[in-house]
């Protein structure tokens, strides 16, 4: 595939037809997204274990960079809950074992994620993300959601609770010196109740109060910001900070500076320790972002280029690492908002970043009194969208094998940690896939009377011919099932000593790899030793092209027939007229 500048730098494409109406639409969308982004970015910084201002940093340069390189027109990038908890978990483990600086390590992780995603994008390796199966991702994300909620308990209740996994949480709860800090817990609960109520009922309340759809919608979206402002005022008025409620405190104002994080004495060792988590975070972050942007694009019949997304997200993460922030991605909740608000081009991201920059420059002092418990409540409300327990029951009904992978991922994520859970899920789902396709469905077929159709003799009333066996293999033949086919044919021949002709119907065989080719040769040779001819029928075009490049067809003791019916007709003729050789 040749690539043009348009593919590499999508801004060239949309920039050339940018007009005033697009500008208005993008500006409006940016304003609305920012209402959501300001509280989220502060809360997600805390979730990532980082100071509040880094949440703002993560929402500036990275968003601009993605706007220039990414292919989605509606994807709202910046901090996301899944990325933040994965970053916190990975960095926490590495810092504990190496004693590195938490902030610098988080920035390094973002930088490494960026480099890996960019490299994957340049090498067009977007497909590897598909090795994480959907049930594994669902099990993982549900478990991560629970861990995210648990990780906020310390802010929410004002007591030291560690919650990297369930055993740690239980141990931490048992070792607690006292109950929750009541003023903090009350603030948190109030915040949670208000945020939940505004999300659930505010819009219908406003509509029934007679407000227009547009205004009600805007107020509904701005509610989290107003609730935060309300709590800042309350906290200042009641001096909650003085009563022991943890507040955000002094947030340095100004824009982040571009700098390489300082990585201590053993940077290579640090990079090595971060490598596996980085790869997993990159994959999960990519899948999360690309799912969101594809959903948005499909509605408008636009197209996402997964490799361009990798490049865009990769560059955005490098920008995050260089501005002292943490790993960023595409946010589902904010993208829904930007799409609803009719964002038309990635330029809306640039405007979002500009508003954030103004906030960082002038409004950080206002954040001083914001209680951390309210930010924790913001995250807890958002976590709700990650939990999907219904899909456990659905998957159980649909496929036990997928359920095993899903449940294992869920349990290991909760009980051990996020990285082990995801790695376990990936390995288990690959092994289970190989196991499943290693014993394919093989049906003995017979003719449906009066037709030229051949169906499973166990499911249908069909005619068979003495001495001739027809087998249909319902799977591509490859190394994992090649030997099974050998065993199966041997067993069939051992239990049917009268058979002299075996016809393999290859309707469902989409591929025959070199191992399966060897097995077919072995089967052919063994059958010949036992005086049985091997025939093939209904071999697909591309498979046949390949077989012609091997010597199987020369060795074959029988023939290749275009249709299974032709094969059976030929057998019948040969039997009624033994003089005619098949």
20 part of the interface to a second copy, by CB under 8 A: no
Q: Computed over its alpha carbons, how large is the radius of gyration of the chain?
A: 31
511 touches a second copy by CB under 8 A: yes
Q: For residue 562, give the 3-state DSSP assignment.
A: coil
Sign of the torsion formed by the C-alpha atoms of 387, 402, 431 and 132? negative
CB of 547 to a second copy, least distance (A): 9
∠ Cα 513 517 522 (to 5°)? 150
Q: Classify residue 369 as exposed, middle or buried by CB count within 10 Å of its CB (0-12, 13-18, 19+).
A: buried
- Alpha-carbon 91 to chain mean position: 21
* CA distance readout (Å), 582 to 16, 269, 380, 452, 558: 69, 69, 74, 20, 8
For a second copy, the binding residue among 26, 217, 288, 402 (CB under 8 A) is 402
Cβ proximity to a second copy, 408 vs 480, nearer residue? 480
Binder of a second copy out of 399, 500, 563, 566 (CB under 8 A): 399
Q: Rule CB under 8 A: choose which of 101, 168, 342, 518 binds a second copy.
A: 518
DSSP-assigned letters across all residues of 347-363: HHHHHHHHHHHHHHHHT
Q: What is the pairing mode between strands 454-456 and 442-447?
A: antiparallel
Do 52 and 46 meet the contact criterion of CB atoms below 8 Å apart?
Answer: yes
If the CB atoms of residues 194 and 480 are measured against a second copy, the closer one turns out to be 480
Q: Which is nearer to a second copy, 210 or 541 (CB)?
A: 541
Q: What number of other Cβ atoms are within 10 A of residue 294's Cβ?
A: 17
Rule CB under 8 A: choose which of 487, 555, 562, 572 binds a second copy: 487
Q: Which of 47, 39, 29 is nearest to 225 (CA)?
A: 39
The residue written with tokens 């330029």 in the block is 347
Residue 339 binds to a second copy (criterion: CB under 8 A): no
- Position 475 contacts a second copy (CB under 8 A): yes
DSSP of 31-44, one letter per residue?
Answer: HHHHHHHHHHHHHH
Q: Tell me how far, at minimum, the Cβ of 132 lies from a second copy, in Å.
A: 7
What does the alpha-carbon distance between residue 50 and residue 261 come to, in Å, rounded to a whole number?
Answer: 14
Q: Which of residues 345-384 bind a second copy (CB under 8 A)?
A: none
Residue 519 as a binder of a second copy (CB under 8 A): the answer is yes
Among 294, 333, 464, 557, interactor with a second copy by CB under 8 A: 294
Counting contacts by CB under 8 A, is residue 478 touching a second copy?
Answer: yes
Cα–Cα distance between 239 and 233 in angstroms, integer? 10
Site for a second copy in 89-148 (CB under 8 A): 127, 129-136
Considering only residues 494, 498, 554, 576, which one is a binding residue for a second copy as defined by CB under 8 A? Answer: 494
Angle at which helices 347-362 and 61-69 pack, to 10 degrees?
170
Sites for a second copy among residues 188-247 (CB under 8 A): none
Strand partners, 247: 371
Q: Residues 455-474 vs a second copy: string with x where CB under 8 A?
A: ----x--------------x
486 binds a second copy (CB under 8 A): yes
Is the Cβ of residue 199 or residue 483 nearer to a second copy in the bound state? 483
Residue count at the site for a second copy (CB under 8 A)? 80
Within 413-442, the residues that bind a second copy by CB under 8 A are 429-430, 433-441
With binding defined as CB under 8 A, does residue 409 bind a second copy? Answer: no
Which residues within the stretch 377-396 sit at the binding site for a second copy (CB under 8 A)? 394-395
- 28 near a second copy, rule: CB under 8 A: no
Sign of the dihedral through C-alpha 209, 211, 212, 217: negative
Q: Does 292 bind a second copy (CB under 8 A)?
A: no
Which contiguous run of DSSP H or E holds residue 576?
helix 564-576
Closer to a second copy by CB, 417 or 501: give it: 501
Nearest distance, CB of residue 518 and a second copy, angstroms: 4
539-578: contacts with a second copy (CB under 8 A): 540-542, 546, 549-551
CB of 482 to a second copy, least distance (A): 7
Q: For residue 460, which of 440, 474, 444 has the smallest C-alpha distance?
A: 444
Nearest-angstrom CA–CA distance, 401 and 134:
12
Q: Select the residue interacting with a second copy from 173, 182, 298, 580 (CB under 8 A).
A: 298
Q: Which is nearer to a second copy, 420 or 492 (CB)?
A: 492
Regarding 302 and contact with a second copy (CB under 8 A), the answer is: yes
Instruction: Please give the Cα distance from 456 to 354 (Å, whole number).
Output: 66
Contact of 326 with 62, CB cutoff 8 Å: no
Q: Closer to a second copy by CB, 71 or 323: give it.
A: 71
In angstroms, what is the minimal distance from the CB of 439 to a second copy? 7
Between 362 and 398, name the residue whose CB sits nearer to a second copy.
398
444 binds a second copy, rule: CB under 8 A: no
Instruction: List 503's β-bridge partners, or say none.
Output: 470, 535
What's the rounded Cα separation, in Å, for the pair 189 and 157? 9
For a second copy, give the closer residue by CB, 27 or 336: 336
DSSP assignment letter at 473: E
Pick 540 or 565: Cβ nearer a second copy? 540
Stretch that binds a second copy, among 143-151, 223-231, 508-516, 553-561 (CB under 8 A): 508-516
CB 399, min distance to a second copy, A: 5
């Amino acid at each position: 595939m040749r690539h043009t500048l348009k593919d590499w730098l999508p801004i060239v494409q949309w920039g050339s037809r940018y007009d005033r109406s697009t500008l208005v639409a993008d500006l409006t969308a940016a304003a609305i997204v920012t209402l959501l982004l300001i509280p989220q970015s502060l809360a997600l910084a805390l979730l990532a274990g980082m100071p509040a201002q880094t949440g703002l940093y993560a929402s500036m340069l990275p968003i601009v960079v993605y706007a220039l390189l990414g292919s989605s027109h509606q994807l709202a990038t910046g901090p996301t809950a899944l990325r933040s908890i994965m970053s916190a978990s990975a960095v926490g483990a590495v810092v504990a074992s190496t004693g590195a600086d938490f902030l610098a390590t988080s920035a390094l992780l973002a930088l490494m994620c960026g480099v890996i995603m960019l490299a994957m994008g340049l090498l067009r390796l977007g497909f590897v993300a598909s090795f994480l199966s959907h049930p594994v991702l669902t099990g993982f994300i549900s478990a991560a959601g629970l861990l995210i909620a648990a990780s906020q308990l310390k802010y929410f209740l004002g007591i030291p609770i560690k919650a990297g996994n369930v055993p740690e949480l239980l141990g931490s709860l048992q070792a607690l010196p006292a109950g929750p800090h009541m003023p903090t817990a009350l603030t948190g609960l109030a915040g949670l109740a208000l945020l939940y109520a505004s999300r659930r009922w505010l819009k219908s309340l406003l509509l029934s109060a007679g407000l227009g759809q547009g205004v009600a919608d805007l107020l509904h979206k701005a509610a989290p910001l107003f609730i935060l402002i309300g709590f800042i005022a309350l906290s200042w008025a009641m001096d909650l900070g003085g009563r022991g409620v943890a507040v955000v405190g002094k947030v340095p104002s100004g824009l982040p500076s571009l700098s390489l994080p300082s990585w201590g004495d053993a940077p290579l060792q640090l990079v090595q320790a971060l490598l596996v988590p980085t790869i997993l975070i990159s994959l999960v972050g990519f899948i999360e972002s690309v799912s969101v942007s594809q959903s948005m694009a499909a509605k408008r019949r636009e197209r996402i280029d997964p490799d361009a997304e990798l490049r865009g997200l990769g560059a955005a993460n490098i920008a995050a690492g260089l501005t002292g922030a943490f790993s960023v991605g595409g946010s589902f909740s904010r993208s829904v908002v930007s799409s609803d608000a009719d964002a038309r081009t990635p330029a809306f991201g640039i405007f979002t970043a500009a508003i954030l920059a103004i906030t960082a420059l002038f409004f950080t002092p206002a954040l001083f009194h914001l209680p951390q418990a309210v930010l924790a409540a913001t995250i807890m409300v958002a976590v709700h969208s990650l939990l999907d327990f219904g899909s456990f029951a659905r998957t159980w009904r649909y496929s036990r094998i997928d359920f095993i992978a899903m449940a294992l991922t869920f349990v290991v994520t909760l009980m051990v940690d996020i990285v082990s859970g995801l790695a376990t899920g990936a390995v288990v789902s690959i092994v289970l896939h190989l196991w499943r396709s290693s014993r394919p469905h093989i049906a003995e077929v017979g003719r449906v009377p009066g037709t030229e159709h051949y169906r499973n003799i166990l499911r249908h009333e069909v005619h068979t011919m003495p001495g001739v066996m027809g087998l249909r293999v319902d799977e591509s033949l490859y190394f994992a099932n090649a030997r099974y086919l050998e065993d199966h044919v041997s067993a069939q021949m051992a239990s049917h000593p009268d058979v002299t002709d075996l016809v393999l119907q290859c309707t469902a065989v989409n591929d025959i790899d070199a191992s399966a080719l060897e097995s077919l040769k072995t089967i052919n040779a063994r059958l010949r030793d036992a005086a049985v001819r091997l025939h093939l029928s209904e071999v697909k075009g591309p498979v046949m092209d390949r077989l012609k490049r091997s010597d199987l067809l020369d060795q074959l003791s029988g023939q290749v027939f275009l249709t299974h019916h032709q094969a059976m007709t030929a057998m019948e003729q040969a039997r009624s007229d033994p003089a005619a050789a098949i």
